Structure 1
Amino acid sequence: MAAVRGEHERDEDRDQCQPRDGERVRKLLQGRRDGAGRHECGKDTPVAESLSLPGFVDAHSHGFQRALRGRAGGTDFWEWRELMLAEAERQTPALVRREYVQVYRELRAAGYTAVGEFHYLGFDEALAAVDAAAEAGIRIVILLAAYGRGGLPRFRQESVNEYLKQVEDLRGRGILVGVAPHSVRACPADWLEEIGRYAAAERLPLHVHADEQPREIEECLGEYGIRPIELLDRTGCLSERTTVVHATHADGAELDLVARAGARVCACPTTEANLGDGFLPVERVCTRGIGICIGSDSNVRIDPLEELRELEGIARRQAGRRNVISTETLLCFGADEGAGSLGLEQWDDVEVDLSHTSLRGVEDVFEALVSGCGADVFLEA
């Protein structure tokens, strides 16, 4: 199958976001021959059938929550959370193995070639998720959640040492792992300190939910007198290997801490919209030079192009103008930044079907891909 070499002009003035990791996407775009990115129907000259891109990386997934797709119950995040907890309670290794392979196949068909599974269902269920990913043909990193309090009893480890032993057990099996204190609600400060030290010593990715909901911030202020990201900084959990998931209600001082540490933010716009979480302050994140990656999160909708389009749409609404983030940067967010978030150096490419109806007659394949296409534009692996 032939591949096209396309053209993409980057407008430096319009792009406030400069991804820290973007080597694969930049090489792809910079290496295109002039004019070959035009894909016009009705021409006599033959056109290529496909275009290879670095695969998208899903930096934040909860596979079991796919079962909640289409359920409209609950008026806010906290009522939805009760539905989610009930679904989590019914999970078994066999059920995870059976259902996750379908989720991961859907991710793979949508253009994701690697996934970070933020996992808090139990150790045996983590092994089942790894098996499901292998069958589906997607690279996986288990972001094993630490849960010291709250949630369901099945989520919780008796001690932070028990949690770190589980991490070591997974690593001993050759499984790619990141540490994941679930949140400042679920992990007390002494747990955060131990996990932060371990991640630094072992140079592992550290992922954590923070500032998703105002109530979470209020509770943190009540317990510690500081906001969630400030607590992460105080306990040694912020570094260049840290990914803060959501940050929809982060204030300027917290974003300054994220930027100073070289940490990333994982945006999950379709889930955040579904749950009424709010909007990531995209423009304020961009102006601080913070890297952004994307996640399917609850898997209510699986489409990396939609996540990126929503991210740019939020930025436009906040800035009051068009073209806040360049196409190149958005593609870097979807691929390289996600891989950096998970500590991946290798992940598979994805093939774009250039004969797809949504790409016929377009002048710039890359612009059209991000601004006007859905995940059905990708060829099955």
Structure 2
Amino acid sequence: MIDATPLRCLTPSGWTTARLRTDATGRVRRLDPTRDATARFALPGIPNTHSHAFQRAMAGLAEHQENVEDSFWTWRELMYRFAGKLDPDSLRDIATQLYAEMLEAGYTHVCEFHYLHHQPDGTPYADRAAMSRALIEAAEQAGIRMTLLPVLYMSGGFDGRALEPRQRRFGHALDDYLALLATLRRLQNDALRVGVALHSLRAVPQEVMPALLEALAGHDFPIHIHIAEQIAEVEQCIAARGARPVRWLLDNAPVDARWTLVHATHLSDGEISGIAASAACVSLCPTTEANLGDGLFPLRAFLDAGGRFSIGSDSHVSVSPVEELRWLEYGQRLATQRRNIASSARTPGVGQSLLRHTWQGGAQAAGLALGRLEEGAFADLIVLDPDAPALAGARDGEVPERFVFAGNRPLVSETFVGGRRVVAEGRHHQRETIARRYAKTLRRLLAD
């Protein structure tokens, strides 16, 4: 039990050795100071702010050349083919495997950007929330906290073209989409938050945006949107709407701290300062952005403008917050030929700086009070392996840097969500059962 565990905790006010006492809701009731020399290092759990769970089962399947100019757009063809095979049962099995892996890696919360709503031909299931419920069930079984983000997807391009046959299972009329939101909102609890996602500017017609935002007025939905991920998208938006995507959004929507802009890779200087001024968060997914060849986010300029960011594993070619953070920093180093890009005068340690942004931005993107070990906060935390060579002799201030940058051996020993231990000795408590079901499902899908 977490209540009996002496921990060396990183709290908002610094490091302290304490036993966390939890209440019946899974929140920290108090931190009882202790001088126990055996206390292990504990960090707040990490929010994963962008996930397409079904794509975990595609990892490694798109790594052979089909076109000398392979890009996101050719990868998307495989994604469409694979998505067309899924039903609620297979989605649940894939998502449960993914969420167990996330917990083992140190993620304790996931923002699930969900657009597989209907049957493959676009016909709604008898229960129109069937695919959403599959994801909720997966999160419950794995024990991860979730912000479910049902996606509004209406058109196949900036020109308003109808959805292709392969896209029809993604689509909703606005009224049907709002009805789905209402259904899912009734399922909310401490472990489940429901938000809103616009797939992209190309998938939500310009004339629909005002009606959608009016329908959301007065609600506290977190709002997520893919934006400026590829150069082609930027060029198409300029041609169709006379402005770059982020510029258009800032000028035509009440973008504020409720909003999370996913990727936002290709930005002008004015867009960088505009996002920062709006208080919106950006969700960065470095391993997926690298895998798809999308480009590098202008991190240093964004931080200098006061911008907020979080991380997501998106297509799940990697399920590791360490790898996301490491490659966020390393990409900047390669581009600038400098080191320690994400550091600041206030937080010179790069690992700690990256983690603090991730915790703060993740809480904002999730619409929940996450990423803090303090009284009243969710008892969502990771305990690091005291026997890991990478942590040998570590002092408090060195732990975040070693966690992020010291090799590839996983350092998470235990993971707690709401005070409940779901990972022990680096293994999810249902790892074998979940993995067997996932393997059976994947073999069936790939044999078709």
Same fold per TM (> 0.5)? yes
Instruction: Indicate which of 161, 175, 193 corresponds to 2:175.
Output: 161
Instruction: Indicate which of 186, 199, 208 corresponds to 1:172.
Output: 186
Correspondence 1:206-221 to 2 at 5 A: 206-221=223-238
Tell me what 1:40 maps to. none
User: Cα–Cα, structure 1 residues 131 and 4, in superposed 2: closer, same or farther, change >3 Å?
Assistant: closer
C-alpha separation in 2, matches of 1:342 and 1:209: 15
1:208-233 CA-to-partner distances (Å, cap 9, x unmatched) read 00010011111111111111112212
Deviation (angstroms), 1:319: 4.3
The one-letter code sitting in structure 2 at the alignment partner of 1:329 is S
TM-score by length of 2: 0.74
Tell me what 1:68 maps to. 58
Do residues 81 (structure 1) and 67 (structure 2) align?
Answer: no
Tell me what 1:15 maps to. none
C-alpha separation in 1, matches of 2:48 and 2:338: 28
Tell me what 1:379 maps to. 413
User: Cα–Cα, structure 1 residues 170 and 192, in superposed 2: closer, same or farther, change >3 Å?
Assistant: same
Identity over aligned pairs, percent: 37
C-alpha separation in 1, matches of 2:197 and 2:408: 31
**Are the equivalent residues in 1 in contact too, given 2:322–2:404 (CA < 8 A)?**
yes
C-alpha separation in 2, matches of 1:237 and 1:299: 31
C-alpha separation in 1, matches of 2:186 and 2:56: 29
Deviation (angstroms), 1:161: 2.0
Runs of 4+ residues over 6 Å off in structure 1: none
Number of aligned positions between the proteins: 349
Correspondence 1:340-355 to 2 at 5 A: 340-346=364-370, 347=378, 348-355=380-387
Do residues 31 (structure 1) and 29 (structure 2) align?
Answer: no
Deviation (angstroms), 1:193: 2.3
C-alpha separation in 2, matches of 1:83 and 1:279: 24
Tell me what 1:255 maps to. 272
What's the secondary structure of 1:201's corresponding residue? coil
User: Cα–Cα, structure 1 residues 375 and 332, in superposed 2: closer, same or farther, change >3 Å?
Assistant: farther
1:29-62 CA-to-partner distances (Å, cap 9, x unmatched) read x2348xxxxxxxxxxxx96363211001000000
Work out which structure has the larger RCO, using CA pairs closer than 8 Å and 6 or more positions apart in sequence.
1
Do residues 368 (structure 1) and 402 (structure 2) align?
Answer: yes
Instruction: Indicate which of 290, 300, 311 corresponds to 1:273.
Output: 290
Do residues 358 (structure 1) and 361 (structure 2) align?
Answer: no
User: Cα–Cα, structure 1 residues 375 and 299, in superposed 2: closer, same or farther, change >3 Å?
Assistant: farther
**Are the equivalent residues in 2 in contact too, given 1:3–1:52 (CA < 8 A)?**
no
User: Cα–Cα, structure 1 residues 377 and 52, in superposed 2: closer, same or farther, change >3 Å?
Assistant: same
The one-letter code sitting in structure 2 at the alignment partner of 1:90 is K
Instruction: Indicate which of 183, 186, 192 corresponds to 2:200.
Output: 183
1:39-97 CA-to-partner distances (Å, cap 9, x unmatched) read xxxxxxx9636321100100000000011111214521101001111111111111111
C-alpha separation in 2, matches of 1:197 and 1:337: 26
**Are the equivalent residues in 2 in contact too, given 1:196–1:235 (CA < 8 A)?**
no
C-alpha separation in 1, matches of 2:103 and 2:7: 22
Tell me what 1:38 maps to. none
Do residues 137 (structure 1) and 143 (structure 2) align?
Answer: yes
Deviation (angstroms), 1:373: 4.4
Deviation (angstroms), 1:181: 0.5
Tell me what 2:317 maps to. 300
Deviation (angstroms), 1:366: 2.2
C-alpha separation in 1, matches of 2:360 and 2:11: 7
TM-score by length of 1: 0.86
Structure having the higher helix fraction is: 1
Instruction: Indicate which of 341, 350, 354 corresponds to 1:330.
Output: 354
User: Cα–Cα, structure 1 residues 149 and 237, in superposed 2: closer, same or farther, change >3 Å?
Assistant: farther
Choose 1 or 2 for highest CA Rg.
2
**Are the equivalent residues in 2 in contact too, given 1:117–1:143 (CA < 8 A)?**
yes
The one-letter code sitting in structure 1 at the alignment partner of 2:225 is V
The one-letter code sitting in structure 2 at the alignment partner of 1:153 is R
Which of 86-95 and 333-342 deviates more? 333-342
Deviation (angstroms), 1:134: 0.4
1:150-174 CA-to-partner distances (Å, cap 9, x unmatched) read 26001000x2222112111110222
1:108-132 CA-to-partner distances (Å, cap 9, x unmatched) read 1110000000000113111110000
**Are the equivalent residues in 1 in contact too, given 2:257–2:364 (CA < 8 A)?**
no
C-alpha separation in 1, matches of 2:211 and 2:274: 20
What's the secondary structure of 1:117's corresponding residue? strand
Tell me what 1:103 maps to. 98
User: Cα–Cα, structure 1 residues 246 and 354, in superposed 2: closer, same or farther, change >3 Å?
Assistant: same
C-alpha separation in 2, matches of 1:171 and 1:273: 35
Q: Which runs of 5+ in 2 are unaligned?
A: 18-35, 118-128, 157-162, 343-349, 371-377, 415-422, 424-448
